[in-house]
Structure 1
Amino acid sequence: MIDLGRQDMDPSRRRVLGAGLFSVALTIPGWPDVIGRAEAVQAGRISRIGMNEVDMVIAMTERVSDLDDQFGGRHARPMAASFMVNTVAAYLRADAPEPVRQAMLSAASDLLYLTGYMAVDEGLHGLAQRYYVKALELAGAAEDHLTYCTTLRGMSVQAVDLGHGAKAMQLADAAAAASPQAGPRMRAFLAGQQAHTAAQTGDRVGAMRYIREAEAAMDRAESRSAPFGSYDPSSLNYHISQVRYELGDVSGAVEAMQQSDRLRFGVYRRARVRHRATLAERQLEIGHLEAACATWSQALDDYPMVQSGRADDRVRIMFGLLRPHLKNPTARDLYDRARGIAPPSLVG
């Protein structure tokens, strides 16, 4: 039996957060009965599960993902960990028909991937790796290529953000190789990451080839449908910005990040804070102090509602970059405003 990360939660917090998570589930019409079955499985009163339990795990994962997008991983990850330890682990031990067992493995692997992603957001990189590896194990057991590829790509994103370009490229290539029949949106999702990692390793030719592939795949995907919540033109423009920046085109990176910001759906508050702060850093890098301050100010509008280690990192960087410019009234006003919002530990 796979250990689903019991080290991540102490028993008292599991009880409290478990109750909080179930209150989220109560917003799903018709689900109290399913929650009752979940509690019965935990207590050992039910030893066999069906597709209702699978559907519950899928729905709960979607709702935790929504909370993560809006409020950051620091709030949402403990809820996911509690649900995993208290409910999903019991489901994986329960008897089930083979199709149900496969579907539960797949649903659990997706929840593990999401929990690893949120651990990255908190800066808990070792814990994130453990969740990602377990997600790969369960996705493989479920023959779930989508979650397997998505998890490998997530590991690549973690590696490239930490500056490990060669490892990130290896993981991005592995994700692409594991999904030979990917549709156009998935292909854009994978090729965009390959482009970023290639650029970080200095492979200009490869980076431009992959970004063109991502753009062509996105065009095909958008001509068919534009499902909310998946890789979209905003995400693609983020990758274009990252590629341009890694290849030394800071002005081009600013332009693409601005386009990404214009296209981003409003619910993605955490991404909006991080990416606007990154945009401001690059605007300052090309000497546009006033524009950078305006963009940082927009990021600060959302920042108090987000509990995210990566957002905190961007605010810490902002304070450092502003200090040499405090004689400028706009920079000074922004600095003073940020000091009233951010935790003192970030001011430095």
Structure 2
Amino acid sequence: MEALIDLGRQDMDPSRRSVLGAGLFSVALTIPCWPDVIGRAEAAESGRLSRIGMNEVDMVVAMTERVSDLDDQFGGRHARPMAASFMVNTVASYLHADASDSVRRAMLSAASDLLYLTGYMAVDEGLHGLAQRYYVKALELAVAAEDHLTYCTTLRGMSVQAVDLRHGAKARELADAAAAASPKAGPRMRAFLAGQQAHTAAQTGDRTNALRFIREAEAAMDRAESRGKPFGSYDPSSLNYHISQVRYELGDVHGAVNAMQQSDKVRHGVYRRARVRHRATLAERQLEIGHLEAACATWNLALDDYPMVQSGRADDRIRAMLALIRPHRRNASAGALYERARTVVRPALLA
């Protein structure tokens, strides 16, 4: 666990983050395969500390859920160092403690989920090398815990990171690996995985498989909606977001706008950061097809939530908004939007 402690401590140190993260995304990253690391015990050395039980596991799970809620509502800029500190000061010691086999596996699984979340928040800040290190460690602990769900979710998260950075081939490899590692996935999980496969296929120009995967995701979501509670945040809104991304990658901007509008219409819950990003993306595409007034209205909706969000990716979308509307400021709607933005966005974004 020394590597895990070192990773968390580096993340807690603001002076190290730019060195760790910026511009260090690696398309050549070696992903630990499930069969290759079964039986690794390094992450679960026992006997160093007092014995732990399910109470400690439940606490880690609850803390991870709380940090995830904060991330969804307010962005990860402040929540990620909190998660890193908790990992270093609490979780690492639990992983060294003595425990029954069942408790040890549960703790490894809980730690893996926390690492995945921390990596996801690092992606949000553009610290891509740091995020990859968290993700790889999450995969290792998921394998040691025999936790297929977190293993597949982490691979998919790595695919999302890669596709957003336009590394289409790597993104597709990771999305396919996630799907292959979950052969008995339920319908909502299958939709969760197939939607990402569709996006990566579209980005690599594979129209046939992009449309096949999105149809598969739609069929799986239809089955899932008649069953239990949603898997994480993947719901019809998320699926429509993927449909929009596929259509946009395949050159259908009007279709992408329609799907993104449907995504916004059916969104549930307080996923404020996603709301800012997705509405800003919708506005960009509305402007692309010449709908300036509609784009300004959508950007205004994004600005309603933006001041409450601390997120690098949200900042990127607002920065893009300012650049895109600047040439249209003679238009009344665009001019009003620009002046409103000047009062709510961080000064650095106006430079």
Query: Using the alignment, how far apart are the partners of 1:188 and 1:118 within structure 2?
Result: 23
* 1:73–1:308 CA contact under 8 A, matched in 2: yes
* 2:49–2:93 CA contact under 8 A, matched in 1: no
Pairwise mapping of residues 65-84 of structure 1 onto structure 2 (< 5 A)?
65-84=68-87
Instruction: Give SS of 1:96's match.
Output: coil
Query: Residues 225-272 of structure 1, C-alpha deviation per residue, up to 9 Å, x if partnerless?
Result: 233743100000000000000000001000000110111124110000
Pairwise mapping of residues 251-262 of structure 1 onto structure 2 (< 5 A)?
251-262=254-265
* 2:48–2:98 CA contact under 8 A, matched in 1: no
Pairwise mapping of residues 97-108 of structure 1 onto structure 2 (< 5 A)?
97-108=100-111
Q: Which residue of 2 aligns with 1:22?
A: none
Structure 1: segments with no counterpart, 5+ residues: 12-43
* 1:273–1:303 CA contact under 8 A, matched in 2: yes
How many angstroms does 1:346 deviate by?
1.1
How many angstroms does 1:329 deviate by?
1.1
Q: 1:163 to 1:101 in 2, by over 3 A?
A: same
Q: Which residue of 1 aligns with 2:143?
A: 140
Structure 2: segments with no counterpart, 5+ residues: 15-46
Percent same amino acid among aligned pairs? 85
How many angstroms does 1:278 deviate by?
0.2
1:283 is the counterpart of 2:299: no
Pairwise mapping of residues 103-252 of structure 1 onto structure 2 (< 5 A)?
103-227=106-230, 229-252=232-255
Q: Which runs of 4+ in 1 moved over 4 A?
A: none
Superposed CA RMSD: 1.5
Query: Using the alignment, how far apart are the partners of 2:2 and 2:201 within structure 1?
Result: 34
Partner AA of 1:217 in structure 2 = A
1:333 is the counterpart of 2:327: no
Pick the aligned partner of 2:94 from 76, 91, 109. Answer: 91
Q: Which residue of 1 aligns with 2:39?
A: none
Count of equivalent residues = 316
Pairwise mapping of residues 13-32 of structure 1 onto structure 2 (< 5 A)?
none
Partner AA of 2:342 in structure 1 = R
Structure with more relative contact order (C-alpha pairs < 8 Å, separation 6 or more): 2
TM-score (norm 2): 0.88
Q: Which residue of 1 aligns with 2:24?
A: none
Query: Using the alignment, how far apart are the partners of 2:306 and 2:278 within structure 1?
Result: 12
Instruction: Give SS of 1:123's match.
Output: coil
Instruction: Give SS of 1:3's match.
Output: helix
Q: Which residue of 1 aligns with 2:3?
A: 3
Query: Using the alignment, how far apart are the partners of 2:57 and 2:169 within structure 1?
Result: 37
Query: Using the alignment, how far apart are the partners of 1:263 and 1:228 within structure 2?
Result: 16
Q: Which residue of 1 aligns with 2:28?
A: none
* 1:198–1:207 CA contact under 8 A, matched in 2: yes
